[in-house]
Structure 1
Amino acid sequence: MTLSLRRQLVQWVVIPLIPLAAATAWLAQDNAREAANAAFDRTLQASARSIAERIVVQDGELVVDIPVAALEMFDPHFQDRVFYRIGFAGGSTITGDADLPLPATLPGAGELRFYDATFRDEAIRSVALAVPLYYAGSQRLLLVQVGETTLSRASLARRLFTESLAQQWLIGAVAALLVAIGINRALRPLGRLRSTLKARAGDPSLQLDVGSVQKELQPLVMALNTALSELENQLSIRQRFIADAAHQLRTPLTLLKTQAEYTQRQPEPAEQQAGLAALVHSTDQVIRLANQLLALSRAEPGPAQHDTRELDVAELAREVTMDFVMVALDKALDLGYEGDDSALLCGQPLLLREMLSNLIDNAVRYTPAGGEITVSAWQRGGEVELVISDSGPGIPPEEQSLVFERFYRGQQAGGDGCGLGLAIVREIVRGHAGQIRLESGSVGGLRIVITLPRQPPPPPADALHSGLH
């Protein structure tokens, strides 16, 4: 199941904070323990120095006068016990607890050394102070040790840890609140876009304000605007197609109905046969018109409705030319193919076949008996050139810019065409990013030249930005 964007953002912010909070708590506990040791170690140090200051040699005798304050300066709120020992370094004990543990490494003269140990099944924190002393005719090193149990230290460490943890939780809660507020504010433009799209869901001309969203969302909005513009274009094309189809089919369908009613009223078989023949001819015209309207709909720009693949246009041109050979023979026309044996490009076979069929059909329709029609395909570097030339009446220069319009039929056009053939050709050429031009043929008539790129053009820039950066 897909989570909401808000929930994903919260999770990506909060989940990484969990191990960070655990590490911070561990560090806070360690810092609290070190702070408590630092505070109580100063008391241990003061006690040891106070005792050391009262050790003197009088008349060759070592006198130790332990001040009461040296052992009473510890916190009285806890039942911590204090131990001490005075003795020669590495030697006998002069006074105090003889079994008080020594540090792992004895301090040098005048040095202090703090250490943790266990004494009488209790954890203690101790300090050892090495005092140099001239005694019994030689320089001696006296070791003063003071230790205490750790109840006060543990209590202070717990209090410091609890206060630090409470501060961190408070900061975390405030940070989470600010993150939630920030996420809601950051997602607010998306909410406005949603409201706009919902309020104007039926308006294809809608264009969203790119500047109303953050920089990272602007490519998405631009892609939506492109899609909305394309949708508006497609709806406009469909509406125009429906209007054209309704307009163009209304008259022939009315004519079919009139011819059918007229034929039905004829008493003579010969007249009925003539009426049926006219009815069949009119039906063929309607079928041709409907087929060309559908072909025009397929050829108009829009989402690809056909497979685009590599094909041999020269082979396709030969096949379509062969389809019209019998029709051309009936009119005594010389129809043939000239050009390269192979001309490859990437395109839509169905539409390219429709394009060639329309062009050759027009040439066969309008070229007088005994004329010539030549179809050719040439490979020209990165392009393919298709040429259909005939010896027909041609198209006057003043009409050449009009013949590609829908339902336009030139003044010299005869037959039963409906003016859609070249409009279909133009849309197919545009869909393949090609060009089409009309020229005068070498034997008179018309020469239609179509240039198509071998590879489809790259996608427009807007399509490249349709994803979120």
Structure 2
Amino acid sequence: MKSIRATLSASLLAAALLTALVLGAVTYRFTLRENEALFDDQLRQIALSLRDHGFTLPSPAAGANEDESSQVVVQIWTLSGAIVYLSDARNPVPNRAVAGFADMVTDQGKWRVFGLPAGDRIIQVAQPLDLRRDLAAAAALRSLLPLLAFAFLMALLIWWLVARSLLPLRRLAEEVSRRDAKSLDKVTAQHLPAEIEPLAGALNAMLERLRRAFARQRAFVADAAHELRSPLAALKIQLQLLERARDDAARAEARARLAEGMDRAAHLVDQLLAAARTDPDDAASAFEETDLAEAVREVIAALHVVAEQKGIEIALEAPERLQLAGDPQALTMLARNLIDNAIRYTPAGGQVMVRLSSAQGHVELVVEDSGPGIPEADRPRAFDRFYRGTGETQGGSGLGLAIVKNVVDMHRAAIKLGVSTMGGLKVEVTFPQDAAPGFSA
């Protein structure tokens, strides 16, 4: 696992070292050049001093000091070529009349020579090139010592600064690690660096979604337990009636009522599962191109028998194909619940109208019936789970429109309840263009 602190520290340290190396190389070359110029000036000053202040003619320095002889060699000779003075007989310099600076090669190596005419004599001051370069390199390296110390201090400073800069992230991680499933309050986003604020904001948004999801789950479980209590109690009573039946007719009637109760309980469980699967915040369905017209025709075909038993006529107005990007199962569930509710609440001999259309980048599904409709006062709560309107006589779980609303939210669509021209309920579901990019009629 990579460490941000280690990565940043290594990167910054590498950059600092690279900068120090470049700066050191430039400083080294500059110091070498400066020392070369300084040594040349030293040779020139010695020659000028001998010319301007005069000199005695001691015997050749056969026993000259070794340190002095290794630094500078002075040689004075006449115009005729006779040597009148040599500071170090062990290091003779070629007696060539060279005015100014020149590099010469002898048996003892390379020399840097400065020649100066002085009347009838030539003053020549020389210095070994290797010695000059060694001295210049030593001086240049000494100038780099502060830079090396700076690089070490910079490494420590970078490590400390990176650690200090990452403290808010570490505090945020520690705060989150102390949370449990019940601690879904927002994390502290104050005094955080600008780079970490988006992370804290996203984390708070996720915690808020989790809090709402857990709250809905608790409410759903409580409502489901409450709704299941009644059908289960009814089944228990019907089973007791079946056991107490004294003749075949009573037993047959009790069995029929028990079967009806079991059907209602099974339908309620199916609706509960459907409501849980279509929760828009929990759904992670992969949308795909779905033929909504074909899905509606299949639903109508499946419910045709129920409608025929009540003498209800179902009419469909739809194009042959109507493509919609969405969850096929959820869209089929939406159509089934809307059409099933229309058939269930429409009196015998009534009518149900289903229309599908597309216009201006929208897909619209409309279901109308000739039933009693939903009073305007009850419409705001019609999509609540387990809600049944005032004066409702039809049996049901109260989950049909709640499931429809979940599917609508999942597809970022809009739903509207109104009054049908046939006197009953009119439900309009409109899918926006971005949720239906590939529809075609």
1:329/1:147 CA distance change after superposition, 3 Å: same
Q: What secondary structure, in the 3-state scheme, does the structure 2 residue paired with 1:173 have?
A: helix
Given candidates 107, 123, 141, the residue that maps to 1:120 is 107
**In structure 2, distance between residues paired with 1:169 and 1:210:** 41
Q: Deviations over 1:400-444 (max 9, x none)?
A: 223222222223433321211111112221222222112222222
Does the 8 A contact of 2:326 with 2:436 survive in 1? Answer: no
Could you state the TM-score of these two structures normalised by the residue count of structure 1?
0.81
**In structure 1, distance between residues paired with 2:255 and 2:284:** 39
Q: What secondary structure, in the 3-state scheme, does the structure 1 residue paired with 2:227 have?
A: helix
Q: CA deviation at 1:211?
A: 2.7
Q: Which residue of 2 aligns with 1:463?
A: none
**In structure 2, distance between residues paired with 1:95 and 1:411:** 134
Q: Which residue of 1 aligns with 2:395?
A: 416
Q: Unmatched 5+ residue regions in structure 2? A: 85-91
Q: What secondary structure, in the 3-state scheme, does the structure 2 residue paired with 1:447 have?
A: strand
Question: Which amino acid in structure 2 is aligned with residue 15 of structure 1?
Answer: A
Q: Which residue of 2 aligns with 1:301?
A: 280
Does the 8 A contact of 1:85 with 1:98 survive in 2? Answer: no
Does the 8 A contact of 2:16 with 2:154 survive in 1? Answer: no
Q: Which residue of 2 aligns with 1:80?
A: 71
Given candidates 302, 324, 337, the residue that maps to 2:316 is 337
Q: Deviations over 1:310-366 (max 9, x none)?
A: 323223222222221222122211112103333333222211111110010011111
1:39/1:279 CA distance change after superposition, 3 Å: same
1:415/1:165 CA distance change after superposition, 3 Å: same
Question: Which amino acid in structure 2 is aligned with residue 294 of structure 1?
Answer: L
1:395/1:304 CA distance change after superposition, 3 Å: closer
Q: Which residue of 2 aligns with 1:8?
A: 7
* More off after superposition, 359-368 vs 419-428: 419-428
- Report how many aligned residue pairs link the two structures: 426
**In structure 2, distance between residues paired with 1:330 and 1:101:** 133
Q: Deviations over 1:351-385 (max 9, x none)?
A: 11111100100111111222111111110212111
How do residues 51-90 of structure 1 correspond to structure 2 at under 5 angstroms?
Answer: 51-53=50-52, 76=67, 79-84=70-75
1:421/1:100 CA distance change after superposition, 3 Å: farther
Does the 8 A contact of 2:241 with 2:254 survive in 1? Answer: yes
Q: Which residue of 2 aligns with 1:316?
A: 295
Does the 8 A contact of 2:77 with 2:95 survive in 1? Answer: no
- In the alignment, is residue 271 of structure 1 matched against residue 250 of structure 2? yes
How do residues 410-449 of structure 1 correspond to structure 2 at under 5 angstroms?
Answer: 410-449=389-428
Q: CA deviation at 1:248?
A: 1.0
Q: CA deviation at 1:145?
A: 3.8
**In structure 1, distance between residues paired with 2:387 and 2:138:** 95
Q: CA deviation at 1:51?
A: 4.5
Q: Which residue of 1 aligns with 2:162?
A: 183
Q: Which residue of 2 aligns with 1:396?
A: 375
Question: Which amino acid in structure 2 is aligned with residue 225 of structure 1?
Answer: N
Question: Which amino acid in structure 2 is aligned with residue 146 of structure 1?
Answer: V
**In structure 2, distance between residues paired with 1:367 and 1:345:** 29
- In the alignment, is residue 372 of structure 1 matched against residue 351 of structure 2? yes
Q: CA deviation at 1:66?
A: 5.4
1:329/1:117 CA distance change after superposition, 3 Å: farther
Q: Which residue of 2 aligns with 1:466?
A: none
Identity of aligned residues (%): 31
Given candidates 314, 334, 341, the residue that maps to 1:355 is 334
Q: Which residue of 1 aligns with 2:89?
A: none
1:93/1:251 CA distance change after superposition, 3 Å: farther
Q: Which residue of 2 aligns with 1:225?
A: 204
Does the 8 A contact of 2:278 with 2:406 survive in 1? Answer: yes
Q: Deviations over 1:227-255 (max 9, x none)?
A: 11111111112111111111111221222
Q: CA deviation at 1:453?
A: 0.7
Does the 8 A contact of 2:103 with 2:113 survive in 1? Answer: yes
How do residues 16-31 of structure 1 correspond to structure 2 at under 5 angstroms?
Answer: 16-31=15-30
**In structure 2, distance between residues paired with 1:157 and 1:98:** 22
Q: CA deviation at 1:173?
A: 1.6
Q: CA deviation at 1:78?
A: 6.9
Could you state the TM-score of these two structures normalised by the residue count of structure 2?
0.86
How do residues 167-316 of structure 1 correspond to structure 2 at under 5 angstroms?
Answer: 167-316=146-295
Does the 8 A contact of 2:363 with 2:436 survive in 1? Answer: no
How do residues 124-139 of structure 1 correspond to structure 2 at under 5 angstroms?
Answer: 124-129=111-116
Does the 8 A contact of 1:433 with 1:453 survive in 2? Answer: yes
Question: Which amino acid in structure 2 is aligned with residue 118 of structure 1?
Answer: V
1:366/1:68 CA distance change after superposition, 3 Å: farther
Q: Which residue of 2 aligns with 1:461?
A: none
Does the 8 A contact of 2:283 with 2:410 survive in 1? Answer: no
**In structure 2, distance between residues paired with 1:269 and 1:128:** 144
* More off after superposition, 389-398 vs 158-167: 158-167
**In structure 1, distance between residues paired with 2:45 and 2:35:** 16
Q: CA deviation at 1:292?
A: 1.0
